[in-house]
Structure 1
Amino acid sequence: MRKSIMFLMVVFAVFACKNKKTEESKSQTEGAEIESTSEAQDEAALAEIKPINNAVLEQGIIYEANIRQYSPEGTFKAFTKDIPELKQLGVKIIWLMPVFPISQTKRKATGGEFASLIKDEVRRNKMLGSYYAVSDFTKINPEFGTIIDFRNLINEAHKNGIYVILDWVANHTGWDHKWLKIQPDYYTHDDKGHVVHPEGTDWTDVADLNYDNKEMRKAMIADMSYWITEEGIDGFRCDVAGSVPTDFWQEAIPQLRSKKEVFMLAEAWEPELLKDNLFDMAYAWDGHHLLNDMAQEEKSLKDWDAYATKLVSDYEKDDMLMNFVTNHDENSWNGTIQERMGDASELMTVFSYMIPGMPLIYSGQEYNLSHRLKFFEKDTIPKTKGSMWKVLKKMGILKNTNVALNGGKSSASYLIFETNNENVLKYTRSKNGEKLTFVANFSSKPQTFKMTDKGKFLDYMANKEIFFNNEDITLAPWGYKILVDL
């Protein structure tokens, strides 16, 4: 049986945010040309928003916005209209997938081939390429709209108390990027002098950057700084952050924070990226894969106990991980939540909220997205509110209002209890006198266990009182209860 274990998962560094534009260095002149229109000059100032602090991030929920696929229009404007809806789900941070122009050279198509090799012009024109093949880090992808549309999105998010971070691709660029023409030494070359794509990958639509080049590092930091000082964004989600040398982040992040405190999310699991005030949050990759395996009954609660124990030894008490059941890669390449988790989908989604860390919602998840979104061409998510909207809304309210789900520097405790059934998990989160008890059946068969608690509780999802008196309880397959002390 499992041993009781207690640990605190702590998350975020406190950071402040101001939305006044400042003068940037002349190195940004080329990027700043997007502000030269009279429309931009007449634009109203960004809405004020209080600085992000730990009190906010204790309750954090992050939303990954796939602008291309979010709406039939695939535009900033269409997404901006729904930001108040995301607030209903308790979202505190919007992570925008890359918003930059996409390289046309070596643009990829569905199936992995280059779009240029497709003879059928109609089909070729449908292939829009990967967001992660960036041709210019200081401009907006016209597919999504204009810089004014982008600013309106930031403004609307801030008005709703939501922060916005950009997906930053520091490891590579697309083959159209100006650096390839004017600064080819910014890139990795083979022994014949040819620029190469990232080693060990099939990312042939991008060119690998050379981090031995100090001037390239300066240029990268300058481009990141532009979005902070000129456009008022609140941080970055850094693509394949572990493939970029850690000493670059040690150089870059303090410089970025000298301009404005920013929230930094690493697409990586390495604990060293969370040390010394570098990244605020990393990916719970191992936890994600374990949830998939548990849903398929290939792993058990014993494996979860081992994982939870390992987290304590691998990470420091003020580290935070992002918990997720899907994201853009998982959906497009490994399958929908339903494909991977089946009847366990709701339980695993709720579980991602109940454990320490910050839960992620991916575009369409709130609308029961049931198909794999195309990655290199236009697609769209459903927009009908069904069962998952109701679940995520209730979980968002709970995360935002009950301190027993806090996950910041004052994180709520997490205590696992043994039960007399190896398929049933029971644990509590508690803080400042508030307590939540979570019981769940992690199997595809009904399970009975001894509920040793006594007293009256609120069955949160059913919104009704329930009384226990040291009795046997049966949970349906993949069934669960969130019990709030009364």
Structure 2
Amino acid sequence: MAVSDWKKSVVYQVYPKSFNDTTGNGQGDLQGIIEKLPYLQTLGVDYVWLTPIYESPMNDNGYDISDYYQINPDFGTKEDVEKLLNEAHRLGIKVMLDIVINHTSTAHRWFVESRKSKDNPYRDYYIWKEGSKDEPPTNWESKFGGNAWTYDEQTESYYLRLFDVSQADLNWENDKLKSEIYEMLNYWIDFGVDGFRFDVINLISKGAFENSKAIGKEFYTDGPKVHEYLQELNKQTFGDKDIMTVGEMSSTTIEHCIKYTNPERHELSSVFNFHHLKVDYKNGEKWSDMRFDFLELKRILMEWQVNIAKGNGWNAIFWCNHDQPRVVTRFGNDTTEEDRVKSSKMLAISLHMLQGTPYIYQGEEIGMTDPKFTDINQYRDVESLNAYKLLKNRGMDEELIMKVIGQKSRDNSRTPIQWNDHDNAGFTTGTPWIGIPENYKHINVEAALEDKTSVFYTYQKLIQIRHKYDIVTYGEIEPLHMEHPDLFVYKRHLNDETWLIIANYSNRAVDIPEDIDLEGEIMIANNDLKGNILQPYDAFVVKISGN
């Protein structure tokens, strides 16, 4: 059942298109989510976060919204949303919607009006700038590649789109636009939703429109009025209600995230940052071939843990989402079944004992892996397909291109959840919109539920521990052995109680450091302790002092 203190809660992310298909059209739907709510109740999560389900051309999988009030018919109807809310609430699960208010689809009514003429009432809802056809207003780069401005023949001017050409950035300087956004959010609050995940919310305030020495993000990342805008958003919508919010923060800083989440500032409940998921980007380049830097991973996680706590802010903690590869393939080891299971548990334990709100991405709780596609035609993600062309143009070898895309593609996490060993992993009776890994025959929910030693039950127990023990939520964090090449070690302290967390991230046996004593009550582990040696991918949580 859901806990009353949102800080003790755990969120499960659903990517509806790949969750459960009840119509046979190869895409997941809202009825499919309703059907599986009892499974999520068994897991024990408190919230379900749905990626966008609104009307959309789906150029960016729903993050290009064309109508905030209508439901994408591919997913179902508004009545389905109502039924989902009612059924989730009956089972003690709250529901968070994903809202994109940095940009809309160019198919949105506002934008269609906006491009009609320079004096259209909706013109100022977006960011339009004069410029000749061959010379964009600035040299800013889109997050998806190419210049961030798109020329529109009709009014001979440019609109800003930090993402896809079909995603026009909104102008938060416009009060009328803001009031429309507040009205829309209040509509969904009144409809019964329990929280919001705000997409790239720290980009809503644009600074000077000037040329950049790099790609322009210094002008709009954590922009000059972003905190003012969020405080106003809070005040006009969710601030005085029991609504949990999380902001997705692009290229942000700890200082800003403390401001975003310190309760006294009345902005957001929590923040996602992605710095720890760039530790396999060679020289900061996503589309590169690199094994992750373990020491850097620890350093970033702990820097955020310690400093956010000092500033009375709040982290969202996570390994996976719809934009990231599967963590067991990325930071664990999926080459053998034993290593896949063990390293999945190790990664879960070492993350879920951190401070913050944990997010579990669909399939993570059973240790799903990257699909290991071998042909570019198996990919659907616009960013991956663009990267393929870009790397081709740079002259990169085809084999290396496929290796890099295989490591980094957003489609790694978008393959359907593997429910059972039947056709199409039980996801659909039709043809799935994207291929399903061969390993669904043994990696699936049905098999995980039957095996009491499966990854699923580690996640279930971690959620129970968080609900039961305040130290996991409120305990101070003490990083240890930060220079150890294989071990992730830290303590949690609350009052007179101390827990020790130790995890071996390597595929070899490692001596436990002499100053680490594992005497005490084992709260959760993925192996039996064997002397003073940690076996490959061992993880232990030990209560070493306190009542």
| 2:51 corresponds to 1:97 | yes
Aligned counterparts of 1:442 and 1:484: Cα–Cα separation in 2: 21
Contact kept? 2:481, 2:489, Cα under 8 Å: yes
Pairing partner for 2:521 from 429, 434, 457: 457
Aligned counterparts of 1:274 and 1:358: Cα–Cα separation in 2: 12
Query: Once the two structures are superposed, what CA deviation does each residue of 1:127-155 show, in whole Å capped at 9, x if it has no partner?
Result: xx620111111111111111111011111
Query: Once the two structures are superposed, what CA deviation does each residue of 1:399-449 show, in whole Å capped at 9, x if it has no partner?
Result: 22222212xxxx112223459965334332233555432122233321112
Pairing partner for 1:399 from 459, 466, 490: 466
| 2:319 corresponds to 1:325 | yes
Query: Once the two structures are superposed, what CA deviation does each residue of 1:56-92 show, in whole Å capped at 9, x if it has no partner?
Result: 2232211111111101331211111222321232311
Aligned counterparts of 2:516 and 2:321: Cα–Cα separation in 1: 38
| 2:195 corresponds to 1:235 | yes
Query: Once the two structures are superposed, what CA deviation does each residue of 1:322-345 show, in whole Å capped at 9, x if it has no partner?
Result: 111110011xxxx33243223254
Contact kept? 1:196, 1:208, Cα under 8 Å: no
Residue of structure 2 equivalent to 1:82:
36
Secondary structure, aligned partner of 1:257: coil
Residue of structure 2 equivalent to 1:354:
353
Residue of structure 1 equivalent to 2:330:
340
Alpha-carbon shift at residue 223 of structure 1 (Å): 1.0
Query: Once the two structures are superposed, what CA deviation does each residue of 1:247-268 show, in whole Å capped at 9, x if it has no partner?
Result: 3222211111366342211001
Residue of structure 2 equivalent to 1:13:
none
Q: Which runs of 5+ in 2 are unaligned?
A: 23-27, 114-121, 132-154, 206-225, 283-289, 334-342, 372-378, 383-410, 420-443, 449-453
Secondary structure, aligned partner of 1:327: coil
Aligned counterparts of 1:62 and 1:150: Cα–Cα separation in 2: 18
Closer/same/farther in 2, CA of residues 448 and 412 from structure 1, 3 Å limit: same
Closer/same/farther in 2, CA of residues 235 and 292 from structure 1, 3 Å limit: same
Contact kept? 1:61, 1:396, Cα under 8 Å: yes
Residue of structure 1 equivalent to 2:179:
218
Alpha-carbon shift at residue 362 of structure 1 (Å): 1.0
Closer/same/farther in 2, CA of residues 415 and 155 from structure 1, 3 Å limit: same
Residue of structure 2 equivalent to 1:382:
418
| 2:407 corresponds to 1:446 | no
Closer/same/farther in 2, CA of residues 195 and 131 from structure 1, 3 Å limit: farther
Contact kept? 2:332, 2:347, Cα under 8 Å: no
Contact kept? 1:99, 1:144, Cα under 8 Å: yes
Alpha-carbon shift at residue 191 of structure 1 (Å): 1.1
Aligned counterparts of 1:291 and 1:317: Cα–Cα separation in 2: 28
| 2:274 corresponds to 1:285 | yes
Query: Once the two structures are superposed, what CA deviation does each residue of 1:205-240 show, in whole Å capped at 9, x if it has no partner?
Result: 2122122222111111111111012x1111211000
Secondary structure, aligned partner of 1:190: strand
Choose 159-168 or 183-192, whichever is displaced more.
183-192
Residue of structure 2 equivalent to 1:366:
365
| 2:130 corresponds to 1:191 | yes
**1:116-265 residue pairs with structure 2 within 5 A?**
130-182=61-113, 183-192=122-131, 193=155, 198-201=160-163, 203-229=164-190, 231-245=191-205, 246=226, 247-257=228-238, 260-265=241-246
Contact kept? 1:100, 1:137, Cα under 8 Å: yes
Contact kept? 2:346, 2:526, Cα under 8 Å: no
Closer/same/farther in 2, CA of residues 336 and 194 from structure 1, 3 Å limit: farther
Closer/same/farther in 2, CA of residues 374 and 392 from structure 1, 3 Å limit: farther
Residue of structure 1 equivalent to 2:534:
475
Secondary structure, aligned partner of 1:458: strand
- % of aligned pairs identical? 23
Query: Once the two structures are superposed, what CA deviation does each residue of 1:164-194 show, in whole Å capped at 9, x if it has no partner?
Result: 1110110111122111234233112231545
Aligned counterparts of 1:484 and 1:292: Cα–Cα separation in 2: 36
**1:293-304 residue pairs with structure 2 within 5 A?**
298-301=292-295, 304=298
Greater RCO, 1 or 2 (C-alpha within 8 Å, sep 6+): 1
Query: Once the two structures are superposed, what CA deviation does each residue of 1:440-473 show, in whole Å capped at 9, x if it has no partner?
Result: 2233321112364374423623697x7x9xxx61
Secondary structure, aligned partner of 1:319: coil
Residue of structure 1 equivalent to 2:500:
437
Secondary structure, aligned partner of 2:95: strand
Contact kept? 1:405, 1:412, Cα under 8 Å: yes
Amino acid at match of 2:6: L
Residue of structure 1 equivalent to 2:21:
72
Aligned counterparts of 2:275 and 2:348: Cα–Cα separation in 1: 16
Aligned counterparts of 1:96 and 1:452: Cα–Cα separation in 2: 41
Residue of structure 2 equivalent to 1:37:
none
Quote the RMSD (CA, aligned, Å). 3.2
Aligned counterparts of 2:169 and 2:510: Cα–Cα separation in 1: 52
Contact kept? 2:170, 2:204, Cα under 8 Å: no
Closer/same/farther in 2, CA of residues 171 and 63 from structure 1, 3 Å limit: same
Aligned counterparts of 2:541 and 2:271: Cα–Cα separation in 1: 27
Closer/same/farther in 2, CA of residues 441 and 291 from structure 1, 3 Å limit: farther
Q: TM-score, normalised to structure 1's length?
A: 0.72
Residue of structure 2 equivalent to 1:41:
none
Contact kept? 1:188, 1:195, Cα under 8 Å: no
Secondary structure, aligned partner of 1:221: helix
Amino acid at match of 1:273: Y
Corresponding residue pairs, total: 395
Alpha-carbon shift at residue 352 of structure 1 (Å): 1.4
Alpha-carbon shift at residue 375 of structure 1 (Å): 4.9
Aligned counterparts of 1:258 and 1:309: Cα–Cα separation in 2: 29
Residue of structure 1 equivalent to 2:338:
none
Which of structure 1's runs of 4+ aligned residues deviate more than 6 A? Answer: none
Alpha-carbon shift at residue 374 of structure 1 (Å): 4.8
Closer/same/farther in 2, CA of residues 297 and 347 from structure 1, 3 Å limit: farther
Aligned counterparts of 1:307 and 1:380: Cα–Cα separation in 2: 29
| 2:491 corresponds to 1:424 | no
Contact kept? 2:43, 2:460, Cα under 8 Å: yes
Amino acid at match of 2:319: V
Query: Once the two structures are superposed, what CA deviation does each residue of 1:298-327 show, in whole Å capped at 9, x if it has no partner?
Result: 534476246524654466532111111110
| 2:10 corresponds to 1:61 | yes
Aligned counterparts of 2:507 and 2:236: Cα–Cα separation in 1: 51
